[in-house]
Every structure is written in C-alpha cells, then in structure tokens.
Amino acid sequence: MKWKNLIKVAFKSIVKNKMRTLLTMLGIIIGVAAVIVMVAIGKGAEKRIQDQISSMGTNLITIFPGSMQSRGVHMGPDQGVQLTLDDVERIRRNATLALAVSPMVRSGAQIIGGSGNWSTSVWGVSEQYLEIRDWPLSAGEFFSNTDVRAQNKVCVVGQTIVKNLFANEDPVGQQLRVRNVPFKIIGVLKEKGQGAFGQDQDDLLIAPYSTVLYRLSGVSGHEHIHQILVRAASLGQMEQAQAELTSIMREAHRIPEGADDDFTVRNQTDIAATAQETSNVLTMLLASIASISLLVGGIGIMNIMLVSVTERTHEIGIRMAIGARGRDILVQFLIEAVVLSLSGGLIGVLIGFLATWIVNLATDWNTVIAPLNVLLSFGFAGAVGIFFGYYPARKAAALNPIEALRYE
C-alpha cells in the first residue's frame, strides 16, 4: 500500500476515538514536554555558570604555587616554594604573549570608614588588574603604576562596601582605615553579582600589591603572593601562552629538566570545563528522569494499540481476504503507533516551550531551549512509537484471515 493511503488510514482510526487518542498521547505529551523543560532548566544552569566563569575574564591564565615534593612526600601548596615578585617581573619582561600581568595578594581585614565598620577581603594587585579581569569602574579611577611603585595608600572598593559604609554619600575621595592604616578611596568597582559558587564578588577592597605587602601589617611579612594573573593576547593563543609561562616559571625557579613543576598554570577553559561537566551531569540527570515518563507513555501506546488490534480484528480479516499481506497490516498498525506518538511528541514540544516560558516568567532560573534536544526528544517519541507499536502490529499481522473474518 502507498504511504499516502497508509497515513490516511492511520489518521482515520486516530480521529475515530478522540478521547482515547488524547489520553494515549498524554503520556508522550508529558514525557516530551518534561524532557524539554528539564533540559532547558539544566542548560540554563549550565549557561549561567559559563557566563559567570567568563565574567572572571575570558583569556585569563592563573599561576598558583604548586605542591612540592620533599623526599617523596607531597606537601600542601603553602608549604612549598612560593610565588614571588621576581616571578612577576620575569613574566612581565619575557612573556611575549602576555598582554597584562598582575600578582595577587589576598587577605581579610576589618575596615572602618563612612557609617561604621565592615569585614571584607583585601586584594593587592597591579595597575593592570582590571584589564585582566575585564572589570570596569562605576566611578572614580583605578590606581596607576606610580601608585604601585610609591606604595601609595589608595584603593578602589566593591559595591557591597559602598552599600554598607557609604550608603548616603559618594565614596570617591573618602578616607577608609584598613587595619588602622588610612587609605583614600579613588574609585568604585562596577557591580559583578554572585559568583559561580555563590560568593559575593562585590565584597572586596582592591589596593596596589606593594602597599598591601609592605604597608599593611599582618599580611605576609615577605614577598609571598598567592597567584599571578596573566591576560593572554587572545583566546586562540591560550595554549602557547600557557607553555611560555611554564617555561619562564621553570627557569625562574631553577627546576631541572625532568623534574615536576612547583607551580600550576591553569586557564579559565579548564575551570569552565570542570563546571561544564558538573552541570552536564545535572542536565543528564534531569533528562533521564523525564525520559522515564516518555517510556511510560510508550507503554500506554502499546496498551491502546493492543486494544485497537483486538477491536479491529474483523477489519484486519477483511483486508487480508482482499489481498493484504501480513506486512501491509504490520506497516498499517506501526504507522498508526508512530503517528500517535509523533502527534503526541509535537504537542509535547509545544507544551514544553510553553512550560519553559512560564518557568522563565515565574522563577529567576535561566532556561535555554536547545534545538538539538527538542529534535532529539521528538525523534525519541517517534522511536518509542515504533518500539512499543511493533508488538501489537506484529500480532495483527500474524492473525489467521479466517478467524479474523469470523471475529465480531
């Protein structure tokens, strides 16, 4: 029989029992819609994490002090060789693929100023830090190379500090005491929001690393710095830049050929990949839960197809008597099952879109509809139809024509 006629016959039988058809399709509809919504939510979370990671600076390379081996025993990063300002200077002079370089000295401190006091993070960095992080100022200006060399007591503050200490006044130009050392606020950072791991990225004070190292007592008395941040010339040259930095660092630390690095060079892509993997697992989990309902929908189709075959035994007998082969009957019922599941899939896609849109409106979750996933779940619905429709269709095709004709 021709496809056109087969599909016509399938539609005729589907339209005949509207209520039953709808209830049968419901399983597939819910399944497909659930897959689409769940994947959209999962992908949304994924995208959110990616955005936050790239908001840390896209072609950022970070050098951490590595763990060091002493007589076969690995020691913690702080126990081994530290990064020094000499390393920073060597990178600044020798790294051809580095656009900007900054050391990072971190410390926590109590600050007093404006309307009260506040406990915050104090970061010591170079004048190129904002360029490395792609982080604009909302007011004032950043400190300069002169400030760094002169160890000037100037700083820029994040929005959280502004909110807590300078709610009613312009913070630029104000004085601030960090561990009793007076600092002048020369700029305010633009709001960055929550970080990928839930931390407040705006609760910080940034000052020249030299000032933090030498003027703030209590911060490491010698030149220990926690990280070196480097902005590579371009995203495409990340790997070359990383290799270049590694060789400069090995030379600076006089590491012999064949020995392990005593530092770690990592770029955002590595971190992003890890985060991506985590959120991928989440998406997979959500999708597989939703797929179960799709499977249950398939069983519903099988159930109703078996009923349909029994109901239409006489019709099958007539068709066989006038020359339908077993294969013709098989294909007829298979197409009916597939039309049923694909129609359900189509409605499911529409409802999935609608539900995703509602989720977007009602909650602050991000949702991303991936076209490939929509196509995939639609295709999966069709596959479910073929899989669960095959047994009933096979049963119909194997009927004995005489018995089928006699069946009333």
Partner 1 sequence: MNGPQHVIRTERIGKIYDSGEVQVEALKEIDLRIEPGEMVAIMGASGSGKSTMLNILGCLDQPTSGDYYLDGIHANELDRDQLADIRNRKIGFVFQGFNLLSRTTAFENVELPLLYSRRPEDGDPAAATRRALERVGLAERMHHFPNQLSGGQQQRVAIARALVNQPAIVLADEPTGNLDTRTSIEIMATFQELNRQGITLILVTHEHDIADYCKRIIEFRDGRIIRDLAVAGRRDAGADLGTGRWPAGGLGERP
Q: For binding to partner 1 (CB under 8 A), which residues are involved?
A: 1-2, 5, 12, 16, 314-315, 317-328, 401-402, 405
Taking the C-alpha atoms of residue 82 and residue 113, their distance in angstroms, rounded to an integer, is 34
- Dist. CA 251–CA 94, nearest whole Å: 11
Q: How many CA atoms lie within 13 A of 345 on its CB side?
A: 24
Nearer to partner 1, 74 or 325 (CB): 325
Cα 154 to Cα 101: distance, rounded to the nearest angstrom: 20
CB of 407 to partner 1, least distance (A): 12
Q: How far is the CB of 400 from partner 1 (least distance, A)?
A: 9
| Closest by CA position to 68, among listed 53, 52, 83, 57 | 83
Q: Least distance from C-beta 1 to partner 1, angstroms?
A: 5
Q: Which of residues 149 and 406 has its CB atom nearest to partner 1 in the complex?
A: 406
Q: Which is nearer to partner 1, 19 or 322 (CB)?
A: 322
Closer to partner 1 at the Cβ: 11 or 64? 11
Strand partners, 112: 117, 177
Q: How far is residue 52 from each of residues 55, 204, 284, 366, measured CA to CA in Å?
A: 5, 17, 21, 13
Q: At what angle do helices 371-397 and 18-55 cross, to 10 degrees?
A: 150
Shortest Å, Cβ 23 to partner 1: 21
Q: How far is the CB of 2 from partner 1 (least distance, A)?
A: 7
* 200/328 with CB nearer partner 1: 328
CB of 393 to partner 1, least distance (A): 16
DSSP 183-248: EEEEEEEPP--B-TTS-BTT-EEEEEHHHHHHTSTTS-SSS-BSEEEEEES-GGGHHHHHHHHHHH
Give whichever of 376 and 405 is closer to partner 1, judged by the CB atom.
Answer: 405
Query: Residue 16 or 163: which CB sits closer to partner 1?
Result: 16
CB 39 within 8 A of CB 373: yes
Taking the C-alpha atoms of residue 158 and residue 162, their distance in angstroms, rounded to an integer, is 7
Token digits of residue 79? 């126990």
User: Minimum distance from CB of 377 to partner 1 (Å)?
Assistant: 33
